[in-house]
Amino acid sequence: MKNTSLKAHLLIAIILSSLSIVSANDYRGAEYRTKEEYIYGRFEVRLKAPYKEGMLASFFTYWTGGEGIWNEIDVEVMARYNDNVQFNVITPTQSGNHVAHYPMSNPTNLDYHIYAFEWTPQYVAWFVDGVLAVRQMGEHIQTLTKPQKIMMNVWPPQWETWAGVLNPLSLPAFAYYDWVSYYSYTPGTGNYGTGNNFTHSWTDNFDSWDTTKWDKATHTWGGNKSDFIQENAVFHNGNLILCLTDKINIGYTDVTPPSISYARAAANKVTVVFTEEVDQTMAEDETRYFISGVTINNAVLQEDLKTVELSVSGLTIPSTNNLIVLSMKDRAPVPNTSGAKLSTLIMPQPLTFPIKINCGGSADLDYLADIEFSKTTEYGFFDGTATVYPSTLSISGTDEDAIYQAERYNMVGYKVRVPNGKYNVKLLFAEKYYNSAGSRVFDVYIEGSLAIKNLDVFAQVGKNAACIKEITNINVTDEELDIQFADLVNSAFISGIIITVNTTGVLDEGNFSPDNFKVEQNYPNPFNGKTTINFSLKAPDNINFGLFNALGQEIFFKQFGQLPEGNHQYILDTDGLTGTYLPSGIYFYVFTSSTKKETRKLVLLN
């Protein structure tokens, strides 16, 4: 692993490239900056960010004096996520990587959040809504010695692995800044912030442009796909609104109707993602959606206000089919309504269990290759850098050295598409770069909850040794298993992920009554070929059995007929069950009586 991140090198390239007012960029962004420079203090902003891929909204301080010296402290809300923010310190020598990712418990785009950082000679600490998120200390903090201007901007980076892919149809995008406050650093005499070491100096509520305090920028740089223009820094209803637009429709105006970003099929549903937030009444009118040969039962707008889930019946998976949205309205102050839009349905390619990912590496042993997550993939990473150590490097405590020799670091996280249910996750680590405890520390979040706190792999197992952390009974309700990393000291990293089904869970038991009948979990489970299922009746009843795949499609049906009360046993033999080969994966078996049913999950390994 290199000592500086890819983004650090990219940022250096930005600064070394000359600033320019004239460019051929297709987009127009905005930047607002103080005239005065500040050294040390607490800096706060109340911000509601956009949620659109390919751009970011920021709040930061920056030394503009040149002299080949770089001093910068960042809060960057990467708009491809609405559940993660990024913090960074950029220092003169760029020694080490100081980017830190922080998972958010509430969306960044649906309401305002207060982002703050404290800069002192000893540390830089970031806060979200008053809660300490990250604190950095060490030699690099001592190099932050230059007075810096307070800045905010919105812009589209050219690096898609970092910011995502900008869809021009998603523009305009707006970042809403409610206010900015500055507190001077007054150790021992203050009344605010950590240790009451800060004193309020000023707050700007952004009722209008204070030309004595602030400038609107008019420049760009290499790596920024937009030019900053003054017209895109707008004051409206007590907010500073920084706008990202095309070249024609600049300022705080929206004349672009919503389009379909993509539509993805799953068992009995279709997920439609629009390019912007849409009107709820129109979005939930199922008559506006059409798929040939498929019945649209209902439509529900999701929390992000741009995703609609369609409940459908009659959809064959896989198949080639299109979704037509007859019209859709956005949430602009003067709403825009689209005409009919068509999108080809993306079909799922379900993974088989166990799901094993070689993070940072290629397909090896029985592990999948590391890939970037997208609308067409079943799993993948967000951001980060991959590295592979020599195959001669021996990793103790494992016979899968090749997996631990690879790693991805400085990533936001991973996402894996799985059926709703409960899972066990193993995370594989091996510290191969640092030589002492405390050199790398991070948290791990799974499905939005803190799963591992203050993980220091070296402190636990030493260098070049396998470290496995298992988190069990993870409940997935949105068909996506999310893993995120929060960097505390240097960059989080990971070598492998193993996801297995928690076979003790029971799904869809709403209609089951223990007074009627009881079905046991099959054994063995997972299994190959044959597995045994015990069930019991408290009274004679007519019993049927069904086997379904993860997409909800019926694989096999059997009528037991009228069975007497007592204990019963059924041996399920999947070899030749349907006349076709059944692939490894999750299946569901359902017992139904005249009035009740019970569903359980089994895992087939072929």
Q: Concatenated DSSP letters for 52-90?
A: -TT-EEEEEEE----TT---EEEEEEETT-SSEEEEEEE
**Do 305 and 376 belong to one domain?**
no
- Strand ranges of the sheet holding 493-494, from the earlier edge strand across to the other edge: 385-388, 406-409, 493-494
What pLDDT does residue 7 have?
44
Across 62-83, average pLDDT:
90
Give the pLDDT band (50/70/90) at residue 512: very low
Mean pLDDT of 269-280: 96
Sequence-distant (6+) residues with CB within 8 A of 368 are 351, 355, 356, 357, 358, 379
Which residues lie below 8 Å from residue 447, measured CB to CB, with a gap of 6+?
474, 475, 476, 481, 482
Residues 559 and 496 in one domain: no
540 and 466 inside one domain: no
d(CA 294, CA 161): 36
**Same structural domain for residues 226 and 359?**
no
How distant, in Å, are the alpha carbons of 252, 409, 437, 547 from that of 441?
Answer: 42, 12, 9, 46
User: Quick check: is 146 in a domain?
Assistant: yes
Of 580 and 15, the structure prediction assigns the larger pLDDT to 580
Instruction: Give the per-residue pLDDT at 321.
Output: 93
Lowest mean pLDDT among 7-11, 69-73, 133-137, 350-354: 7-11
Range with lowest mean pLDDT among 53-57, 251-255, 360-364, 530-534: 530-534
> What backbone phi and psi angles, to 5 degrees, belong to 298?
-160, 170
**In this predicted model, what pLDDT tens digit does every residue of 136-178 receive, in sequence order?**
998 889 999 999 999 999 999 999 999 999 999 999 999 999 9
Q: Are residues 312 and 397 in the same domain?
A: no
Residue 496, helix vs strand vs coil: strand
Q: Which residue has the higher pLDDT, 541 or 132?
A: 132
Beta bridge mates, 358: 369, 496
Asked which of 322, 346, 370 is the last residue of a domain, the reply is 346
Task: Answer yes or no: are the C-beta atoms of 15 and 62 closer than 8 Å.
Answer: no
Of the given ranges (219-233, 384-398, 547-561), which has the lowest mean pLDDT? 547-561
Q: What is the pLDDT of residue 285?
A: 96
Judged by DSSP in three states, 249 sits in coil
pTM here is: 0.79
280-318 burial string, b = 16+ CB within 10 Å, else e? Answer: eebbebbebbebeebebeebebeeebbbbbbebeebebe
User: Is the bond preceding 258 in cis, omega lying within 30 degrees of 0?
Assistant: no
Is the same domain home to 496 and 571?
no
Would you call 76 a catalytic residue per the annotation? Answer: yes
Of 31, 53, 72, 431, which residue is the catalytic one? 72
Query: Over the stretch 442-496, which tens digit does the pLDDT of each residue have?
Result: 999 999 999 999 999 999 999 999 999 999 989 998 899 999 999 999 999 999 9
> Is 231 known to be catalytic?
no
Residues spanned by the domain of 317: 260-346
Q: Report which of 317, 310, 372, 320 is spatially closest to residue 344, judged by C-alpha positions.
A: 320
| 511 has a pLDDT exceeding 60 | no
Residue 255, in any domain of the structure:
no
Same domain, 86 and 177: yes
Strands of the sheet containing 413-417, edge to edge, are 379-382, 413-417, 480-489, 441-446, 449-455
Establish if 42 belongs to a structural domain. yes
Res. 22: pLDDT tops 60: no
CATH number at residue 240: 2.60.120.200
- Look at residue 411 in the predicted model and tell me its pLDDT: 96
Is there a domain that residue 530 lies in? yes
Supply the CATH number for residue 554's domain.
2.60.40.2550
Q: Say if 276 falls within a structural domain.
A: yes
Please say which residue of 284, 319, 346 terminates a domain: 346
Instruction: Confirm if 179 and 46 have CB atoms less than 8 A apart.
Output: yes
Return d(Cα 64, Cα 76) in angstroms, integer. 19
Residues 399 and 336 in one domain: no
Is 254 part of any domain? no
pLDDT at 2 over 50: no
Please, are residues 56 and 79 in contact by the beta-carbon 8 Å criterion?
yes
Tokens coding 9: 């090198």
Same domain, 518 and 497: no
pLDDT at residue 17 in the model? 40
pLDDT at 94: 58
Residue 605: pLDDT band (50, 70, 90) is confident
Can you give the pLDDT at residue 8?
Answer: 44
Residue % of the chain over a pLDDT of 90: 72
Q: What is the CATH number of the domain that holds 432?
A: 2.60.120.430
On whether both 527 and 587 belong to a single domain, the answer is yes
Tell whether 360 and 319 lie within a shared domain. Answer: no
**128 pLDDT exceeds 70?**
yes
Domain count along the chain: 4
- Is 252 a member of any domain? no
Question: Residue 68: exposed, middle, or buried by beta-carbon count in 10 A (0-12, 13-18, 19+)?
Answer: exposed
Tens digits of residue pLDDT in 295-340: 999 999 999 999 999 999 999 888 999 999 999 999 999 999 999 9
Which residue among 44, 53, 76, 277 is the active-site one? 76
Among candidate residues 325, 346, 367, the one where a domain is terminated:
346
pLDDT per residue over 197-210, tens digit each?
A: 999 999 999 999 99
Given this model, what pLDDT does residue 579 score?
63
Please check whether residues 521 and 474 belong to one and the same domain.
no
The answer to whether residue 253 sits within a structural domain is: no
Average pLDDT over residues 581-593: 82
